[in-house]
Chains A and B, each alone.
Chain A
Amino acid sequence: MAKYGFFLGCIMPLRYPGIESSSREVFNSLGVEIVDMQGASCCPAPGVMRSFDQTYWMSVAARNLAIAEKMGVDIVTICNGCFDTLFEVAHKLNHDPEMRKKVNKILKDATGMEYNGTVNVRHFVELLYRDVGVEAIRAKAKGGRNMKAAVHYGCHFLKPSNIKKIDDAERPHVFDDIVEAAGLTSVAYKDKGMCCGAGGGVRARTPDVALKMTKENLTNMKNAGADVIVDCCPFCHLQYDAGQAALKGEFAIPVLHLMQVLGLAFGLPKEKLGLEVHQTKVNL
């Protein structure tokens, strides 16, 4: 298997470092070799930064892509937002020579590097599904808990599906399959696949609107009897975790990133999951 540059982004290392420690352990135990991308930055986030200035958004993303190219590695991310930016920008630059020229001029002036179009950007769920395989995960998941999981795909893991080509965007299964291999039961719930509410700068600008969307999802998850919400994106994670705190006791469904679920299933001690920063209490 190839070696991967582990793209950290912002929310995971700075607000939920337990997702990072879990990720490092899980990658290691599955034989996925990761290396740090020294000097990487924010992806930058596809919400506010792309909304403000697409040239800046692409140029900073191109710098992150160029760092991986210089290291001779592909990129793996554990965040839908980072995945979307890095994947979409690579795609745009690979298919638009004029744009690539413009962005590379900025990148070269600022850093001396150029983006050459040689790096693959992988989302960890897709990488685990395709390269590691569900059976290899099942074989390692001795400590899996039999909980009912509301699996939340988020938006930017699979969509836009015409370029990402990972799974059916309306009826996906890859993430559920991994959650079930970890010993949990993935429950069906109404409007599964709906946005958590946080994206596109909505959480920052109109948190009340974001929270209404979150509440609708939480209600549907609760009605399906979910014991835990499992996400694959630290921003959705933040929205469900902090969102339940903002809703003051209406819901109490623990929120875990898939890497924390796999960490637990692989026998990682609970202290390594960094659960103390979760605002919605995690009693497992």
Chain B
Amino acid sequence: MPEAKEPNPEFTRKVIEGGGKTVNLCFQCGTCTGSCPSGRQTAFRVRKLVRRAQLGFEEDVLPSDDLWLCTTCFTCYERCPRGVEIVDVIMALRNMAVRKGHMAEPHRKVAELISKTGHLVTLRDEDKALRSKLGLQGTPPTVFSDPKAQEEVKKIAVLCGFDKLVQTGGK
């Protein structure tokens, strides 16, 4: 039989500092798992994820695919009888996971697009044509129409280290 794992309060403290401040309120009732639309389709169990975060089982949590099956629908957050802000716990864990290099390529691409252009969707010729046909400005009046504004958004990415994070994939 494998040895029982030791809790790691240091990791739990990082979860709390990262925004998951209510993580320790969980008493494992399972209302979250029973409410989870993603868990209906997959083996993702919110209750287990929260327990592992409480115990500080970093190696079980950060590399796991389950962490990325939450749609952030807030149903568990709404129904939790202990007021655990579960989405905030998951966001804290995801922020740590990407810094350990656990970043899926499709996500990295979306993040790269916004860090470079300020939008997460591209402007294609057919979009401009349809916009004009509908009586809208061909290029929307956003960062796409304003190079100075686009530079500002890029600068925020640099100041936060977000540009490097998405270039290197956190590795």
Q: Footprint of B on A, CB under 8 Å?
A: 8, 10-11, 13-15, 17-18, 20-21, 24, 36-42, 44-56, 59-60, 63, 106-107, 109-111, 155-156, 159-161, 169-170, 194-195, 197-202, 204-206, 209-210, 212-213, 216, 272, 274, 276-277
Contacts and interface: CB of A to CB of B under 8 A. Distances in A.
Given A11-B121, A155-B74, A272 B69 contact: no
Interface in B74-105: 74-75, 77-78, 85, 87, 91, 94-95, 98, 103-104
A99 B55 CA distance: 27
B169 to A, nearest CB: 11
B155 interface: yes
B26 interface: no
23 contacts: A8-B142, A11-B121, A14-B119, A14-B122, A15-B127, A17-B127, A17-B131, A17-B134, A24-B136, A37-B142, A39-B152, A42-B120, A48-B111, A51-B68, A51-B95, A52-B94, A56-B160, A110-B159, A155-B72, A159-B78, A160-B74, A160-B85, A202-B70
Nearest to A155: B73
Contacts of B135: 21, 272
Interface of B: 18-19, 37-38, 40-42, 68-75, 77-78, 85, 87, 91, 94-95, 98, 103-104, 106-107, 110-111, 114, 118-123, 127, 130-131, 134-136, 140-143, 145-146, 148-150, 152-153, 155-157, 159-162, 165-166
